[in-house]
Each structure stands twice: as structure tokens, then as C-alpha cells.
Amino acid sequence: TPYSNRFETAIKILRILSILISLINIIVLFRLRSKNQTYKFLIIISITDMLYAALLLFYSVFFSLCGSAECNPSLYYVYLLFYIIFSEYITSCLPLFNILMEGYLTVKRILIISNLSSLKKCLNFKFVCSILFIISFIAYLPVFFIYTIEPT
């Protein structure tokens, strides 16, 4: 229908804008002289937001090209694999990672306010970031067991 086509086009434009805005944020943040925890957090959030929007844009373009088994059957299996891995799994992991990073930054701020410097030193940014990344990707592993790829 014409309405759904306009809606899909608007969504694609919003995703492109999101990618561009995230890219601008990344460029601006890389040029900053201050490299504190907030800076690192904003860089990571901008990168994950850009990846999220890019994956969804790619998915919507791919879906518009081949969203049914009526197109090339082998391409349809690629579409289903892409849907499970990127659209369901990774696009769920990235927002969870952002939420966990926000929680980490909040804990760091609370430790600064409460003057618990010994505990604050234990929370190395790179280590915690790696652990949160792994947790966010492990948390959504059951997605692979929910879906099955079957010919239609």
C-alpha cells in the first residue's frame, strides 16, 4: 500500500540520519582533548548506536529486496540467517550493552560521590567494558535456539 511504502521510506531516512548523527558524534568526540570516562562512554554509545542503525537499515533494504521465498530460494535462506543473527540477536545485544554501560557509569559516579576510591580503582574501564560486552552477547544466545530456518 502507498502508506506502508511511505512509512518504510521514512524509517529508512531516519536510520540514515541516525547513522550520520552518530558518525558526527564520533568525529567530534575523537577531536576532543579530554579523554575521561565520560568521553569513553560517549564514544562507545555513539559507535553502538551507529552499528545498530546501520544493521537495521541494511536489514530493511535487504528485506525490501527479498522478504519472501518467492525470490531466489538460496537468497531467502541468507535473508533468514541475516534476520536471526543481525536483526534479532545483535540488535538486541547492542541496546543491552548500552544499558549496562550506563549502569557502570552510574556506579562510577556513585563511587566518586561516596569517596570509595579503593573500590573505584578496581573498576578498570577496559576490563568492565569487555565483561559487559560479553554479558550482553551471552544474554541473547537463546535467540539462536528459538528460530528455525524452514522452507516456505
Q: How far apart are CA 54 and CA 16, in angstroms?
A: 8
pLDDT of residue 77: 74
Distance from C-alpha of 116 to C-alpha of 1, rounded to nearest angstrom: 60
Which residues have C-beta within 8 Å of that of residue 29, sequence separation ≥ 6?
39, 42, 43, 46
CA 137, 141, 146 angle in degrees (round to 5)? Answer: 145
Look at residue 56 and give its three-state secondary structure. Answer: helix
SS3 assignment, position 151: coil
CA 100, chain centre distance (Å): 12
What pLDDT score does 94 carry?
84
pLDDT at res. 148: 60
Q: What is the pLDDT of residue 135?
A: 92
149: which 3 cell numbers?
Answer: 530456518
Cell numbers representing residue 94 in the block: 547492542
Q: CA 51 to CA 90: how far, in whole Å?
A: 9
Per-residue pLDDT tens, the chain, 152 aa: give them.
Answer: 566 677 778 878 888 898 899 899 888 888 877 777 777 788 888 888 888 888 888 877 777 766 554 566 667 777 777 777 777 788 788 888 888 888 888 888 787 777 766 666 677 778 888 899 899 889 888 877 776 656 55
The pLDDT score that the predictor gives to residue 3 is: 63
Question: Can you give the pTM of this predicted structure?
Answer: 0.67
